[in-house]
Structure 1
Amino acid sequence: MSLKKSILLIIIILLIDQASKIYIKTHFRLQDSVEVFSWFKIFFIENEGMAWGTRISDFVSFVSERTAKIALTIFRIIAIFGIGYWLYDATKKQGSKILTIAIALIFSGAMGNIIDSVFYGVLFSDSYMQVATFLPEGGGYDTLLHGKVVDMLYFPLYKGYLPEWLPIWGGQFFTFFEPVFNIADMAISTGFIMLIVFNRKAFPKAEATE
């Protein structure tokens, strides 16, 4: 797969990701939800941290949340350059199509969430008890690098109480699948899954050498 096709795939995913986020941000209030199916809802939340809402400050208590947020955003920006070089190198060396697609998916997903983290704080007003405004007159809800990632895809495939005989969690209310995510997260997850499931096809030269 050529670099041009990889870039085209990245652009398409970024457009879909950002269009969905901007629509949600400008049409939903925080915590608003719309049931599409019994097992799928559009549920608007904002994520200030890493995957599953984890924050650096959860592990390093002496670091303030705002400092941790900047550190996380800067780390993501540095990482995206590494992923970009990986994609360039893979296409230059004519790596397998699966490898190139997987890297492109990871790159586009990471870039999509970086855009939120870097710019959304200054581009939008907050969504608490109101629908956000794009480029509000009074300024955004926060400063550059302090934006929150917009999540909206929620798949509660199962909700119910676990059997009493189950160790530790028996009798507790359980939801599968609990996390709320976005198109960018889907792209990143799909890319990593491709690398794991199709590892031999993604890295054929490495397998041959071994």
Structure 2
Amino acid sequence: MAKKNTFSDNRAGIMPWLGIAAIIILLDQITKITITRLFSYGESYPVTSFFNLVLVHNKGAAFSFLADQGGWQRYFFTAIGIAAAIFIIYLLKKHAGQRLFCWALALILGGAIGNVIDRAMYGYVIDFLDVYVGTWHWPAFNVADSAICVGAALFIYDELRRVGK
């Protein structure tokens, strides 16, 4: 985890990081609204030889984990997303001066809230990005999922860089 900053290191404050998270949420929701207006459920549009746009609903977590359960997972994953968002905001306040660490957290925060909005409104997450090789398809994902993955990669890079010093 990132090292502790003193109060004077947090000059920029938390607002820029919350702004980045808000941009991710906005992009995520705009793309999801657009895809649901342009596509019917299950409809697919080939973009390249390895990428489609497709409208699918994920009632579970990553890779549709627990998607076939009776509906309790909607509330469970929503609660986890809210708890994660609260913890990330705490970390952003505590480490606001650490740029790479906070970039990672802001991306993860925006992605988590983007997916929580879907779960709260619809009971599932809207996914529409379909990457594949031949007949093997990666599970469909969205902008929020992408932000979470990039944030996680930045977090790992930041930790490896910090440990290497």
Q: TM-score range by the shorter chain?
A: 0.7 to 0.9
2:49 corresponds to which of 29, 34, 38: 38
Q: Shift of residue 2 of structure 1?
A: 4.4
Equivalent position of 2:71 in the other structure: 66
Q: Shift of residue 195 of structure 1?
A: 1.5
Equivalent position of 1:126 in the other structure: none
Q: Which amino acid counterpart does residue 27 of structure 1 have in structure 2?
A: L
Q: Shift of residue 74 of structure 1?
A: 1.8
Equivalent position of 1:80 in the other structure: 85
Equivalent position of 1:117 in the other structure: 119
Q: Shift of residue 66 of structure 1?
A: 1.8
The number of equivalent residue pairs is 154
Q: Which amino acid counterpart does residue 197 of structure 1 have in structure 2?
A: Y
Q: Which amino acid counterpart does residue 31 of structure 1 have in structure 2?
A: G
Cα distance in structure 2, aligned partners of 1:41 and 1:155: 7
Equivalent position of 1:197 in the other structure: 157
Q: 1:122-161 residue pairs with structure 2 within 5 A?
A: 147-156=123-132, 158-159=133-134
Report sequence identity in percent. Answer: 30
Which of structures 1 and 2 has the larger relative contact order (alpha carbons within 8 angstroms, sep 6+)? 2
1:130-183 CA-to-partner distances (Å, cap 9, x unmatched) read xxxxxxxxxxxxxxxxx2100001111x215xxxxxxxxxxxxxx1x5211000
Conserved 8 A contact 2:13-2:93 = no
Q: Name the SS for the 2:42 alignment partner.
A: coil
Q: Name the SS for the 2:71 alignment partner.
A: helix
Equivalent position of 1:23 in the other structure: 34
Q: Name the SS for the 2:54 alignment partner.
A: strand
Q: Name the SS for the 1:107 alignment partner.
A: helix
1:51 corresponds to which of 54, 62, 66: 62
**Max Rg structure:** 1
Runs of 5+ unmatched residues, structure 1: 59-63, 122-146, 161-174
Conserved 8 A contact 2:118-2:125 = yes
* TM-score between both structures, scaled by the size of structure 2: 0.84
1:188 corresponds to which of 145, 148, 152: 148
* TM-score between both structures, scaled by the size of structure 1: 0.67
Conserved 8 A contact 2:74-2:124 = no
Relative to structure 1, is the Cα distance of residues 67 and 18 closer, same or farther in structure 2, using a 3 angstrom cutoff? Answer: same
Cα distance in structure 1, aligned partners of 2:154 and 2:73: 31
